[in-house]
Amino acid sequence: MFQDQRREKILQLLQENGSCRVQELKELFKVSEPTIRSDLESLERTGLITRQHGGAYLNTLASTSLSLALPSRGNDEEKARIGKKAAEFVNNGDNIILDSGTTVTEMVMHLNTRTGLNIVTNALNIALHLGMEPTNNILVVGGEFKPPTLSLTGEKGLALFENLYVEKLFLATGGFSLEAGLTYPSFSDLAIKRAMIASAKTIYLLADSTKLEKVLFASLGSVDKVKYLITDSGISSEYAKRLKAAGVTVIIA
């Protein structure tokens, strides 16, 4: 892996997890400790991260956690339209799983009129927002806290999914490829995402068109599990046809 590619992936990991340790990055990228320290020094000069003893953290952590608002990662208008469209598929009384992330957060802004929902989520901001409706029942996944997405992750949260079954899962992803499937910047979320998928009858993938055929570090696969892709008009007609052939129905927001 080239230096610029490695640094880009380190930044993606920080944006996903909030912080990372030099030793973890060294083992993950199979390079020396001085190489990782040089990478972190370079990223610190951009003003996006701050190095600390043994690692680094993302500079937006404090403002994100205190405001309960997720930092923008671009394509805000597309994500807002995708979220609004996704909300149309939720009815009063539905049993649903809501993943964390900016696009699913946009979705819940349009669920204020829904009542009687049984909701499972790993996102604290989503739980707080939808929990304001007294007829909703909210179950929150436990685990390790990730400040950038205000979410909980890790294998300790898997117990909640034992014997759980819902009609609909609204899933986020870092990238989606017909070959690699669902991909993410970090391995930490894979177990939770896999459990969500196994617990749902119908899976709605919320992904703007910039994530299509984008492959990140950790692959979950599961193309065959995705029933609907809700995306924006940036998707090409040819790619939509390929998705249809793979059994994925494309919904344009």
Over the stretch 131-158, which tens digit does the pLDDT of each residue have? 889 899 999 998 888 888 889 988 888 9
* Domain 76-252 of CATH type 3.30.70.360: no
The whole-number pLDDT of residue 115 equals: 94
* Arithmetic mean of pLDDT, 77-83: 96
Residue 162 · residue 142 · CB < 8 Å: no
Q: Which fold has domain 3-59?
A: Arc Repressor Mutant, subunit A (1.10.10)
Within the chain, where are the H helices? 3-17, 22-29, 33-45, 61-67, 76-87, 102-108, 124-130, 190-198, 237-245
Average model confidence (pLDDT) for the chain? 90
pLDDT score of 64 more than 90: no
Mean pLDDT, to the nearest integer, of 123-133? 91
Instruction: Give ranges for CATH 3.40.50.1360 in the chain.
Output: 76-252
Sequence ranges of the chain with CATH classification 1.10.10.10: 3-59
Q: Where are the beta strands (DSSP E) in 105-239?
A: 118-121, 137-140, 144-146, 151-153, 166-172, 175-177, 181-184, 200-206, 218-221, 228-231
CA distances from 61 to 3, 50, 105, 134, 146 (A): 26, 11, 18, 30, 9
pTM: 0.79
Give CA torsion, residues 119, 80, 251, 148, to 10 deg.
Answer: -60
